[in-house]
Structure 1
Amino acid sequence: MNSIIEAAQAQRAAPVMATGPLTLHLMQPQDASRWDAFVRACPEATFFHLSGWQKVIQQSFGIKTWFYYVEQGGQIQGVLPLAEIKSRLFGHALGAMPFCVYGGVAALGDEARRMLDDAAHALATKLGVGHLEYRGMRRAHPDDPSWHTKELYVTFRKEISGDDETNLNAIPRKQRAMVRKGIKLGLKAVVEDNVERMFAAYAHSVLRLGTPVFPKKYFALLQQTFGDECEVRTILTEDGRLVASVLSFYWRDEVVPYYGGGTDLAREVAGNDYMYWSLMQAAAARGCRIFDFGRSKLGTGAYDFKKNWGFSAEPLPYEYKLYTSSKLPDNNPLNPKYQLFIKMWKKLPLPVANFLGPYIVRNLG
C-alpha cells in the first residue's frame, strides 16, 4: 500500500521551493486558489485540507475556523486548518476540521511545520481549550511526550484495478454474493445533482443507529463547494424505489465514500453492497486506484462491514495535546455514558430527530 501511495505522489509535480524568511499568515478569500494549488501538490495534504472546508464548516454549523499558512518568497510552504468546538456537553477543543477524518499540518519542511505547530499552540492557549487535536494517518510528533495518542479509529484503504472482474473477484465470497444479488435484482445507480434522496436514506440510517443527523444544508454545501470532486450516487429498484445513497469525494487517484445510508428495503435487496460496488466500478473507470472506505471505530458494525469486504484496518494515530483538560477526550458512541441517550434517540420520530439533530451534532466534531 505504501508503494502505491509513494508512486502516486512521485507522479505529481513537486511544489516550488523558495528562498527568504518564512512568515505565518491566516488565509484570506484571495488566498484560496493558491492555498488549494499547494494542497493539491503537497504529498502530506489530503482532501480535507482544501480551502472549501472553511466555507462549509462555518456556514453549516457556525463553527469558528482559522486557516493558517506559512509562506516563503511568495510560495506557500505549509498549511494548517483549525476549528474550535465549544460545548458544555462535549467540552472545549481546537483541532482539525470537524467531521473530517484527516487533518493537521501539511508542510514541505520542518521549519514550516514547527511554525504551524507553534501557531496552533498559541491559539489553543489563548482560547483556553481543553485539548488540541491533529488527525493524521501517521504520528506527527512521535518523540514529543506532550502529544498523546489513543486507539479508537482505524481507516480502511485498498488498491483497486481498472478491471471490473478483478475488483469483483477481490471481494470475499459472501459479500460478492450480495453484490451479485443486487445485480440480479436489477438495482440501478444514478448520479444526482441534489442531495434530497441521499439525505432521506442517510437520515433513516443514522436514526436507526441512534446518532444525531447532520443538517441537509451541510450536504448541499459539500456538493456545491467541491463540484465534480463530490458525487451523490443513489441506488434505486427497477421501479424507481429508493434503496440507498452515498456522497463520495474524489481526490487525486482515490475515491472516498463518506456519507451514506439505506432504507429498510436495502436489507432485502443487498442495496448497500451493490451501492459500494457501483461506486467502485465508477471510480475505477474514472482512473481511481485507491478505494478509501473511510474511518470506523473499533468494535462497530461499520468496522465489521468493511472487514467483510476484504479491507484491512490501518490504525489512525490521532494526536492530542492537553491544555486545561487532565485526560484525553472520549466523545464517541461507545462511551457508556452516552448509551442512554442513544437508546432514547432511536425512539424519536424521524421528523423530530431531523429537526433536533443539527443542534446537537455541531458540537461533536
Structure 2
Amino acid sequence: MGNIDKAIELLYMSPKTEIESRTYCSILQLSAELKSLQDGKKVHSFICSSGISIDSVLGSKLVFMYVTCGDLREGRLIFDKIRNEKVFLWNLMMNGYAKIGDFKESVYLFREMLDFGVEVNSHTVSCILKCFAALGSVKEGKWVHGFLLKLGFGSYNAVINSLIAFYLKIRRVDVARKLFDELSDRDVISWNSMISGYVANGFSEKGVELFKKMLYLGVDVDLATMVSILQACANCGDVSLGRAVHGSGVKASLHLKTTFCNTLLDMYAKCGVLDGAIRVFDLMGVANALVDMYVKCGVPVLARLLFDMIPSKDLISWTVMIAGYGMHGFGNNAITTFNEMRQAGQTRGIDTGNSQFYVCAANS
C-alpha cells in the first residue's frame, strides 16, 4: 500500500532469521519508487547487521535502489561485487553515469560488459550512442552502428532514433536523413529528432519543410515538436508560421508550459514583432527569472527588452539587470540603470552614495 514507514517498522520487529530475501527486495523497490534514499539505507543496514549474504537478486535490487535515489557511488560499490549477466543492471549503471555527464565511465562499462559476455539490447545501444555523440567519438559510434546491424537491431525504432541523434550530433545530417527516410515506422521521436537536428545544424528551412510534411501525414505533434519549429521560425524570420504554431499551441494548452512560452517569446523578439512578445510576456508572469535567464545566456539586449516590459519592477528586477550589464562588461549601462533605479525609488537598504561601487559589487 506504499506505507514504507510501517513496512520498516515491522521489519525491525521481525526475527531476522525469518525474513525472506523477497521481503527486503519489496521494501527496497518501494524505497526506489519513493526515491527515499534514507529508507533504502535503513534496509541495507538491516541486511548487513543480519549477516545475510547479498546474492545476485538482492544485490541487483540494492543497486537499483541506490542508483534510482541518486547515490551512484554506493550503487557502483555493490554493482562491482555482484556483476552478473543481467543486461538491465549494466544498462542501469551506464544510464546513471550518462545522466550526470560522465560519458567516459559509461563507455568503460560498455566495454566491460562486452568483455563479460553480457548480451546487449536496444536500450544498451541507445545509451552508448548518446555517450559517443556527447564525446564526439565518431569512429566508435560508426562501429556501434555496424555492430547493432549485425545483432539485428536495425528495425528497432529506439535504436534508429538514437543513431539519427548520433549522426546529427556529429553534423552528418545526410546520414541521419538517410536513416530517417529508410525507417518504415517513424514515431514522433523520429520526426522531432530530425527537425531539431536540422535546426541545430543551421538548416531551419529544411526543418520547416519536414514539419509541414509531418502535419500532412497526420503525425501527432508534441511539445518538443512545437519548440523546435518555433526555433526554426525564429531563425528563418517566418513569423506567419510562428503565429500559426502559437495558435495551435494555445489550443493544445501548451501555453501553460514555460518552455513553450520562452521559445515563443524568443521567436517574436527575434522576428521584431514586439507586440506579440509583449502579449506573451504579459501572460507569463515568471519575469525576473526570464531576465535572469537571458542575462546568463549572454543576451543582455533581450534581457533589457524584457526588463522594460515589466510593469512593476521590484528590487530583484533592477539587481538582475544591473548585475547582468556588469557581468558582460557594459559598465556604463549598469550605472545608467542604477541611476534609473534610484529615480524609481527602489534603493531601500542600499548605499546609493557610490553607484560605481554597487556596479562592481554586482559584477563580482
Same fold (TM over 0.5): no
Structure holding more helix per residue: 2
Report the TM-score, using the length of structure 2 for normalisation. Answer: 0.23
Structure holding more strand per residue: 1
Between structure 1 and structure 2, the one with the greater Rg is 2
